[in-house]
Amino acid sequence: MGWGGRRVLRDRNVVFYLSGVVVSGFGTSAMALAAGVWAKSLTGSDSLAALTTFCVWAPTLLGPLIGTVADRTRRRPLLIWTNLGMAAVLLPLLAVHSSEQIWVLYAVLTVYGVSGVLLDAAEAALVAAAVPETLRGDFNGLRMTANEGMKLVAPLLGAGLFVQFGGVGVALLDAATFLLAAAAFALMRVAEPAPRPATSRRWAADTAEGIRHLRHHPVLRRLVLAGAATMGMAGLNGALIYAVVDAGLHRSPAFAGVLYAVQGTGSVLSGLCAGALLRRMPERAFAASGITVFALGLVLRTVPSVPVGLLASALIGIGLPCVLIAAMTAVQRETPSELLGRVAATANTLLFAPNAVALAAGAGLVALVDHRVLLLAAAAVATTAAAGCLLGGRGRASAPRREESVPEEAAGTERETAGGAEAPRDPR
């Protein structure tokens, strides 16, 4: 059977890991929408509402530094205590009832952003110990599917809770999901190697070591740079969505929600197919194929037709996750365990920071340039990024295989599946 999700879900660690990620992601997606609505309702200001998103995303720029924490301690306890800590950090939001207390919301959201970077780094690093290499392609595809699925459902629930109970209701829901995620990670059985003593290296040197590994590894550098360019064009595309709906499709602004829903559905399907595809092609080919599909979607978005516009959204949703899955899969395989936290965090910074920058730039450009011209320019950049994935070298990187500490239960699953198909190229 081409889809390996069934084999993945037989692994006890994978089930608990995915449970923790899904539950936590559900609360995060609900809070992401509710925080902006909360700030808007308290202050009446669009700019102060937008500032909530900035508070959550700004710590991403410190990813290499924050990710070093994940390499200085065991990852499973770090995930457990960070989730428990975030459940406590959300409690001050229960006292926010007026615009004078809005600073509490921003402070909590900033800590939220820092914890998000740390959790992402620790989760990526834990995969190497918890999930056999032969299962990581399907595992990371399922993880992407779960995250995208939460983005379709959780914001609606968050909005409903906010209408009924205000921001306090959403904060309590998010705190509960952090507690459930901590419990899921606590139930995992992972034999992690002891981290290097923190006193043996300076913090700055440890951080630089992660950056250096990513910069000098030809496969990882190429994939992450292609991903950064693609995510930048995704940000530009996001800034143009209302111009596409209005000037292109001649629909009301609310129709953007339909396009986003179709795009999210495409991303869910992409995640489900990722593992099977990664068993049949190297990460660079998988990434290039996805970027090309994404670029085609951008081109089709210039056509003033609703059916074509829906198809374009589906193609964008299908293609965009591929480079993210491919890049993080390669990071997990080609990075030594002791560096994985800071390398994964650095990769996340490079992948997602261009999205925020291009979103802001696109908001200004769309007032000066026809949205169709910008979409075609974005498609050209994405096509160049796809070509860049395929240049230089063939197949997988030839890094020596590292001995990893794999729990006995997971090792049994690896032995069971090793004879079936070629080992997948690990995504996230």
Domain tally, the chain: 1
Question: Both tokens of residue 161?
Answer: 């809770």
For residue 425, being part of any structural domain is answered with: no
Distance CA 107, CA 55 (A): 8
Distance CA 249, CA 343 (A): 42
Half-sphere exposure of 179 (CA within 13 A, CB side): 11
Half-sphere exposure of 35 (CA within 13 A, CB side): 29
Question: Both tokens of residue 257?
Answer: 């929600």
pLDDT, position 424: 34
pLDDT, position 46: 66
User: What's the 3-state SS for 325-340?
Assistant: HHHHHHHHHHCCHHHH
pLDDT, position 426: 37
pLDDT, position 83: 93
Distance CA 404, CA 82 (A): 24
Question: Domain range spanning residue 94?
Answer: 5-418
pLDDT, position 407: 41
For residue 319, being part of any structural domain is answered with: yes
Which residues neighbour 183 within 8 Å (Cβ) at sequence distance 6 or greater? none
For residue 387, being part of any structural domain is answered with: yes
For residue 423, being part of any structural domain is answered with: no
For residue 331, being part of any structural domain is answered with: yes
Contact, 231 vs 352, CB < 8 A? Answer: yes
Question: Which domain CATH number covers 380?
Answer: 1.20.1250.20
pLDDT, position 200: 53
Residue 192: phi and psi, rounded to 5, are: -95, 140
- What sign results for the dihedral spanned by CA atoms 152, 155, 157, 160? negative
Distance CA 136, CA 128 (A): 9
pLDDT, position 194: 65
pLDDT, position 199: 52
Residue with tokens 């690990």: 426
For residue 354, being part of any structural domain is answered with: yes
pLDDT, position 195: 66
Kindly report each contact of residues 31-35 with a partner whose C-beta sits within 8 Å and lies 24 or more positions away, as own/partner: 31/112, 31/158, 31/170, 31/171, 31/174, 32/56, 32/155, 32/158, 33/155, 33/158, 33/159, 34/158, 34/159, 34/161, 34/162, 34/167, 34/170, 35/105, 35/109, 35/167
Going residue by residue through the chain (428 aa), what tens digit of pLDDT does each one get? 455 556 667 777 778 888 888 888 888 888 877 888 888 888 887 667 777 877 887 888 888 888 888 878 888 899 999 999 999 999 999 988 888 888 999 999 999 989 988 988 888 778 777 777 767 777 777 777 777 777 777 777 777 788 888 888 889 999 999 999 999 999 888 777 666 655 555 767 777 888 888 888 888 999 999 999 999 999 889 888 888 888 889 988 768 778 888 988 898 888 888 888 888 888 899 999 999 999 999 999 999 999 999 999 999 999 999 999 898 888 888 888 788 888 888 888 889 888 878 877 887 888 888 999 999 999 999 999 999 888 754 444 433 333 333 443 444 433 333 333 333 333 33
| CB-CB neighbours of 384 under 10 Å | 13
For residue 426, being part of any structural domain is answered with: no
Helix (H) or strand (E) holding 378: helix 371-390
For residue 159, being part of any structural domain is answered with: yes
Helix (H, G, I), strand (E, B) or coil at 379: helix
